[in-house]
Amino acid sequence: MKEEMDMERVTLTLAAASLIAGFGSSFQYGYNVAVINSPATEMKLFYTRIYEDRYGPMSDNLLTLLWSVTVSMFPLGGFFGSLMVAPLVNKFGRKGTLLFNNIFSIVPAIMMGVSEVAGSFEIIIAARFLVGICAGLSSNVVSMYLGEIAPKNYRGAIGIVPQLFITIGIVVAQVFGVRNILGNMEGNAQSMEFLLFTVGCSPTMNSSRLQGFYDGVGLALSIGLM
């Protein structure tokens, strides 16, 4: 009886795995839902500047079209990400799918980080599609993964972790998007993704090791100090 109670209590490893899985996947879903709103004015100026440098004057209708495509790429990517859940889970398992999903987080993070240097708004549009795939996958797989690793009597509590981190991600995106913080031309909130993805590099770590998390934090700090 005592052994069963010990097996069904919340351990440090279970708590850490749940929080890191939520931060590495669900947090990015919420962050990317909201991050596009606050710096919209500055990003439209960036679109206009790049387009006019290439082709000449840009009409308001074309700018509206490009911005609409940019925003809509995220849910479109989420649609395709949701369709990828079943085949990936069957092939890699829950944990393997979350690790594979890091590709759709790391690649768009780098793309958004270098978009201004490259002078290309197309990179942002493509990155929004890829991070949408990440959101589509994580919104389904994280819940399955946490449901499997959680003891029966704690599955309800652990099950709210993804929704909690989605909400936190939205709040953080809104805060970073304030003009006096990162919602300006000097520090666009989109580029914060380049820093944030590193902390979630190992959202489904080996249950007996936290090293992946510590490495992610160290890498995030090193990028932030560059």
| CATH number of the domain bearing residue 156 | 1.20.1250.20
- Tell me 191's DSSP state: G
By mean pLDDT, which of 18-27, 63-72, 86-95, 205-214 is the weakest?
205-214
Vertex 157 angle, CA 152 and 159, to 5°: 85
Burial of 133: CB neighbours in 10 Å, binned 0-12, 13-18, 19+: buried
> How does pLDDT run across 17-48, given as a tens digit for each residue?
888 888 878 888 888 888 888 778 888 998 99
Q: 136 in a domain, yes or no?
A: yes
- Domain that residue 162 falls in: 16-224
Q: 11 in a domain, yes or no?
A: no
> How does pLDDT run across 152-182, given as a tens digit for each residue?
888 888 888 888 889 998 988 888 777 666 6
83: Cβ contacts below 8 Å, ≥ 6 apart: 136
* pLDDT(209) > 50: no
* pLDDT(197) > 70: no
161: Cβ contacts below 8 Å, ≥ 6 apart: 18, 19, 21, 22, 26, 142, 146
Q: 5 in a domain, yes or no?
A: no
Query: Which carries the bigger pLDDT value, residue 57 or residue 203?
Result: 57
Q: 3 in a domain, yes or no?
A: no
114: Cβ contacts below 8 Å, ≥ 6 apart: 123
Burial 26-39 (b: 16+ CB within 10 A, else e): bbbbbbbbbbbebb
Q: By the 8 A CB rule, do 197 and 28 touch? A: yes
Q: 112 in a domain, yes or no?
A: yes
Q: 191 in a domain, yes or no?
A: yes
Q: 134 in a domain, yes or no?
A: yes
What's the first-to-final CA gap in the chain, in angstroms?
54
Q: How many domains does the chain have?
A: 1
**Whole-structure pTM value:** 0.75
Q: What are the φ/ψ torsions at residue 178 (nearest 5 degrees)?
A: -60, 140
Query: Which carries the bigger pLDDT value, residue 136 or residue 217?
Result: 136
